[in-house]
C-alpha cells in the first residue's frame, strides 16, 4: 500500500507498549508530496490580533493535546513541561502560574472550580481555578493525552491504553473505570470525553463511539463509526482521535482512514456515514459540519445527510490543524503558523492571517468573538473574529 507522507506526518504510531520510529522512515522519496503554495489574495475580512503571550515550552512534535480552555473571564493554558498559566481573556494579563513538575500531555480541562491536566506520566492533576494551588493528584493506567472533562462532581479522562476513568472531583479517588481492548496499532492521540446532560461521549481506537453514564460509567450504547478493514495492521487503522460533537440530538465523529458519521444521541444508531480520513477535531455551526481530512482538504457537510456541500482543496498537504467554526466562518491553522478563514456557506477563502511561524496542530479555541490560538512552539494569541458583512 502506498501511503502519502503528509497523511502520517502529524502522527506517531503505537503498537502494544512499543513505539514505531517516525513513520516517514517507511516511505520512499517518491511518496513525498509538497504542500500547496499559498496564493495571494485580498482579505475580505480583517481578523485583528488583540494580544499575544509566550506561554513556555512548545510540543516539539510530540503530538500532545494541549489547547486553551476558557471559563468565565479566565483563559487557562499549559505547556509541554507542565507550566500552567491563567490569563485574563480580555487583555492577556497573567492571573497566576503553577509548575506541575511533570510533562503535560492533555489539557487543560476546567470546571467546578478546577483546572485539570493530564500528564505523560499517567497522572491527572487538579488545580484551583482561582489561584492555581494544587488540590490533588490521581494515578491512572496510562498517559493522559485526552483533555479531562468534569461534570457534577466527576472528572472523566481517557488514557492511552484505552481506558476511561471517572474520578471524584473533590479528591481524585477513582469512582469508576471503563475498559476496552486497544488494537495492536493505533495513532498517537486519543479522543477526549465530552459530557452532555450527564452522559459521556467519547471516540475510541478501532472506530468505536460510546456513551456512558457520567456518575457510574455504565455503558448506555456503543456504535461503530468505521469497521477496520484491510490486510495489514496499518490498513486497519481507524481511530477516532477528535472529540465528538454533540448537537441537535446527534453525535458526530470522524475516524482516520474511515468515515465521518452521525449517530442518534439517545440510541447510538448511525444515521449516515461519509467516507473521509480525519485525525483532528471537527466543527459545526447552524449551516453544517466541517472537517479537514488527512490530506488537508477542507469539507462542509450537510448535518442531516452527510452530503458534501463544498470542498476546498487550496490547502492540500499543509498539515492542517483542528477545525473551528463561528459567525459564518470556518478557521483552520497550518504547519507554517497561518490561519485560514473560510466562508462556511461555500468554502471560499475570505482571509489569511499569521500568528507565528510555528505549526498549529490542536490549539484552536473560539469563545464568544475571540479565537485563542496556542501554537506548537509555545506562543498564545487572541484574535478578534470579525463579523461578516
Which structural domain, as residue segments, surrounds residue 306? 5-384
| Mean pLDDT (whole number) for 270-283 | 89
Q: Indicate whether 31 belongs to any domain.
A: yes
Q: What is the pLDDT of residues 336-371, one digit of tens each?
A: 999 999 999 999 999 999 998 899 998 899 998 899
The pLDDT mean for the chain works out to 86
Q: Indicate whether 43 belongs to any domain.
A: yes
Q: What is the CATH number of the domain that holds 318?
A: 2.130.10.10
With H, G, I as helix, E, B as strand and everything else as coil, classify residue 308: strand
C-beta separation of 44 from 389 below 8 A: no
Angle at 114 between CA 112 and CA 117, to 5 degrees: 135
pLDDT at 376 over 90: yes
Per the confidence metrics, is the pTM higher than 0.85?
A: yes
Sign for the CA dihedral angle at 234, 237, 243, 248 comes to positive
Comparing 7-16, 86-95, 193-202, 300-309, which segment has the lowest mean pLDDT? 7-16
Q: Residue 231: which pLDDT band, with cuts at 50, 70 and 90?
A: low
Query: What's the domain count of the chain?
Result: 1
pLDDT at 30 over 60: no
Residue 287 confidence (pLDDT): 85
Q: What is the pLDDT of residues 162-213, one digit of tens each?
A: 899 999 999 999 999 999 776 554 555 578 999 999 999 998 877 789 999 9
C-beta separation of 134 from 98 below 8 A: yes
With H, G, I as helix, E, B as strand and everything else as coil, classify residue 47: coil
The share of the chain scoring above pLDDT 90, in percent, equals 68
Q: Indicate whether 378 belongs to any domain.
A: yes
Q: Indicate whether 285 belongs to any domain.
A: yes
C-beta separation of 104 from 81 below 8 A: yes
Residue 202 confidence (pLDDT): 93
Residue 169 confidence (pLDDT): 98
Q: Indicate whether 389 belongs to any domain.
A: no
Comparing 61-70, 126-135, 192-201, 325-334, which segment has the lowest mean pLDDT? 61-70
Residue 22 confidence (pLDDT): 35
Continuous segment of H or E residues that includes residue 7? helix 5-8
Amino acid at each position: 500500500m502506498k501511503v502519502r507522507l503528509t497523511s502520517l506526518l502529524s502522527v506517531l504510531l503505537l503498537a502494544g507498549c512499543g513505539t514505531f520510529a517516525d513513520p516517514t522512515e517507511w516511505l520512499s522519496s517518491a511518496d513525498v508530496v509538497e504542500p500547496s503554495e499559498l496564493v495571494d489574495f485580498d482579505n475580505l475580512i480583517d481578523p485583528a490580533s488583540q494580544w499575544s503571550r509566550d506561554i513556555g515550552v512548545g510540543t516539539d512534535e510530540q503530538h500532545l493535546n494541549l489547547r486553551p480552555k476558557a471559563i468565565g473571564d479566565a483563559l487557562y493554558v499549559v505547556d509541554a513541561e507542565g507550566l500552567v498559566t491563567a490569563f485574563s481573556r480580555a487583555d492577556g494579563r497573567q492571573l497566576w502560574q503553577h509548575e506541575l513538575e511533570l510533562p503535560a500531555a492533555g489539557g487543560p480541562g476546567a470546571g467546578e472550580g478546577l483546572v485539570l491536566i493530564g500528564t505523560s506520566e499517567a497522572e491527572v492533576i487538579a488545580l484551583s481555578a482561582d489561584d492555581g494551588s494544587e488540590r490533588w493528584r490521581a494515578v491512572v493506567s496510562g498517559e493522559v493525552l485526552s483533555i479531562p472533562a468534569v461534570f457534577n462532581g466527576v472528572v472523566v479522562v481517557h488514557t492511552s491504553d484505552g481506558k476511561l476513568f471517572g474520578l471524584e472531583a473533590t479528591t481524585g479517588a477513582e469512582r469508576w473505570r471503563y475498559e476496552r481492548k486497544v488494537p495492536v496499532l493505533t495513532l498517537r492521540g486519543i479522543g477526549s470525553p465530552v459530557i452532555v446532560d450527564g452522559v459521556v461521549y467519547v471516540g475510541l481506537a478501532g472506530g468505536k463511539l460510546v456513551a456512558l453514564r457520567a456518575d457510574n460509567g455504565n455503558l448506555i450504547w456503543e456504535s461503530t463509526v468505521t469497521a477496520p478493514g484491510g490486510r495489514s495492521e496499518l490498513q486497519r487503522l481507524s481511530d477516532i482521535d477528535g472529540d465528538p460533537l454533540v448537537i441537535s440530538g446527534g453525535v458526530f465523529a470522524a475516524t482516520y482512514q474511515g468515515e465521518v458519521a452521525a449517530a442518534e444521541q439517545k440510541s447510538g444508531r448511525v444515521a449516515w456515514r461519509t467516507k473521509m480520513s480525519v485525525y483532528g477535531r471537527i466543527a459545526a455551526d447552524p449551516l453544517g459540519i466541517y472537517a479537514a481530512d488527512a490530506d488537508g482538504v477542507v469539507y462542509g457537510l450537510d448535518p442531516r445527510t452527510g452530503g458534501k456541500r463544498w470542498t476546498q482543496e487550496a490547502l492540500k498537504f499543509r498539515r492542517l490543524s483542528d477545525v473551528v467554526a463561528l459567525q459564518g466562518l470556518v478557521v483552520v491553522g497550518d504547519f507554517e503558523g497561518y490561519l485560514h478563514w473560510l466562508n462556511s456557506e461555500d468554502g471560499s477563502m475570505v482571509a489569511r492571517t499569521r500568528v507565528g511561524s510555528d505549526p498549529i496542530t490542536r490549539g484552536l479555541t473560539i469563545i464568544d468573538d475571540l479565537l485563542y490560538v496556542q501554537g506548537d512552539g509555545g506562543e498564545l494569541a487572541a484574535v478578534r473574529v470579525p463579523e461578516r458583512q
